Amino acid sequence: MDVRIDKWLWMIRLFKTRSLAAEACNAGKVRCAGNRLKPSKEVKAGEVYHVRVGDLEKTVKAIAAPKSRIGAAMVPQYYEDLTPPEEYDRVKALHAKFEYREHGEGRPTKRERRQIEYLKNYYGEEKE
């Protein structure tokens, strides 16, 4: 497999553009065996890569390299997703909304609003 890691990440649709994949490599968001990878690193079959995509830390095992960018239905032929389900749950919890209120409860009180703001800041959600 003579394919660069940035190109491979783009071809298997982990990143929308190749330049985003290269930026992720340069920023240290792509690792193999604990080492940061440069965009020019060649992909080897059987290697496990840890890729940070937004808030998600994906763990993928390279199987093969496609000739060019592939359709979403063909992606499982080229890599195996080893990301634990707990990671997906963690990201889902990060994006959960705290403002849900039952119908008929009315507006939050000043105290409740402050508690909601505290939770948003604690979990890293930005103010809207």
CATH code, domain with 66: 3.10.290.10
Residue at 122 is within a domain = no
What is the predicted pLDDT for the residue at 124?
Answer: 65
Residue at 127 is within a domain = no
Residue at 107 is within a domain = no
Q: How crowded is the C-beta side of 36, counted as CA atoms within 13 Å?
A: 9
**Mean pLDDT throughout 37-43?**
95
Residue at 76 is within a domain = yes
E-only strand ranges, 8-125? 30-32, 35-36, 48-53, 56-62, 79-81
Where in the sequence is the domain holding 57, given as residue range(s)? 5-82
Domain total in the chain:
1
Residue at 92 is within a domain = no
What is the predicted pLDDT for the residue at 97?
Answer: 66
Residue at 57 is within a domain = yes
Return the higher-pLDDT residue of 56 and 127. 56
What is the predicted pLDDT for the residue at 128?
Answer: 46
Question: With contact defined as beta carbons under 8 Å apart, do 8 and 43 qualify?
Answer: yes
Instruction: Round to whole Å and give the CA distance between 101 and 39.
Output: 46
**Mean pLDDT throughout 14-21?**
96
Residue at 97 is within a domain = no
**Mean pLDDT throughout 2-26?**
95
Residue at 60 is within a domain = yes
Read off the pLDDT of residues 85-103 as tens digits, 9 standing for 90 and up. Answer: 999 988 887 777 666 778 8
